[in-house]
Amino acid sequence: MSYHVLHVLQHGSVLSKERGFIVCKGQDGPERKLPHEDIRAVVIAARGVTLTSHFVSAITEGDGVILHCNESYQPCGITTPLARVADQRSYLHQAARPARLNARLWNTLMRGKTANQRRVLQLRGTDSPHLERALRTDRIDEGNCARQYWQLYFPTIGWASSKRDRKVENPPNQMLNYGYTVLGALCHRSLLIHGLSPLLGVHHSTRYRAHPLVYDLIEPFRPLVDLMLAEFMIQADASMKAWCKKVGAELRERRVRHDRYSLKLMDAIDVSASSLAQSYALQTADKFWVPHL
C-alpha cells in the first residue's frame, strides 16, 4: 500500500469523504480524490478550509492525523486518533519512568542523531572532527554537537547565519520548523498506535502544551529534514509553498537504511516507534532501532 501525506494549500478548499475516498474540492481547481485508508497525515496550510465530520472521522479512524497551520505555515494544532494500550507491559513500564532504561534509550537516540548529522555534512562536502570524536565517546554532548553542526551546515546551503533559531522566521529556520513539525505529527501518530503515551518522555520533560516523547523520538529523524532542505534550496522555486510539497513527497519516497534493506521514511517512523514500545515491554534498549542515512 502507498501511504500519503496530503498537503492542502488551496484557500477555501472543502474536504469530505465519499464512498471510501477523501475528496478535496477547491474553489477554482479540479476535484481530487485519494482512498482514505492510504492517508497517514493531512496538513492544512491554507485559509478558509472546511472539514466535514465524515472527513475527520475517516482520517482518525484510519489512524491518520490532521496538522493545522496558520497563515504563516506555522503549525498551531493537531487532531489525532484516540490513545490506546497495544501492550499493557509497554505502557505500564513506560509509566514507571525507568531511569536506567530511559538513559540507554536516550543515548541511542543521540548517537543516531549525531551519526545522521555527520552523514548530512559528508553529503554536503564537509565534515566535523567534533562530531567524529563525540561518536567515539560513551555519552553524546548534545548542545556542543548541535552548535558545531549548525555552524557547518548553514554555509553548505548558502545561508550566512551559523545559528539555528526556531523563533526566527528567515526562510531556512521557518522551513526547518515546518518540516520538523510535519515529521513530529507522524511520530505522534506512531506512538499512539503502538500504545505509548506521548506525554511521558525518555529525556524531555513534561510541560504545558508539550508532548515530550514526540520530541525524543524525532531526534534521529531531524537530520533527514536538514538534508531535504539542503537539496531543496538549489531549486529555482524555493518558496514556502514548494517546500510544503517537497516535504510531503520526501516523506513518502525517501528511504533510510535498516539492517540489510531500506525503508521508506514514513514506514521507518512506525518501525522506530514499534521498537521503542518493545523496548519498554521487554525492559531492554537492545531492541530499539533508529534510522540511519
Average pLDDT over residues 158-164: 74
- State the amino acid at position 200 in one-letter form: L
> What's the pTM value of the predicted model, to 2 decimals?
0.91
DSSP H or E stretch at residue 253 = helix 240-253
Q: What is the pLDDT of residue 72?
A: 73
> What Rg, from alpha-carbon coordinates, does the chain have?
19
Q: What is the pLDDT of residue 1?
A: 47
Kindly compute the dihedral angle of the four CA atoms of residues 37, 24, 31, 253, in this order, to the nearest 10 degrees. -50
Q: Where is pLDDT greater, at 169 or 116?
A: 116
Give the CATH number of domain 88-287. 1.20.120.920
Residue extents of the structural domains in the chain: 4-79, 88-287
Q: Which of 176, 146, 172 is nearest to 159 (CA)?
A: 172
Query: Can you identify the CATH homologous superfamily of domain 4-79?
Result: CRISPR-associated endonuclease Cas1, N-terminal domain (3.100.10.20)
Q: What is the pLDDT of residues 26-82, one digit of tens each?
A: 877 778 898 888 899 999 988 899 999 999 999 999 999 999 988 777 888 999 999
What 3-state DSSP class applies to 230? helix
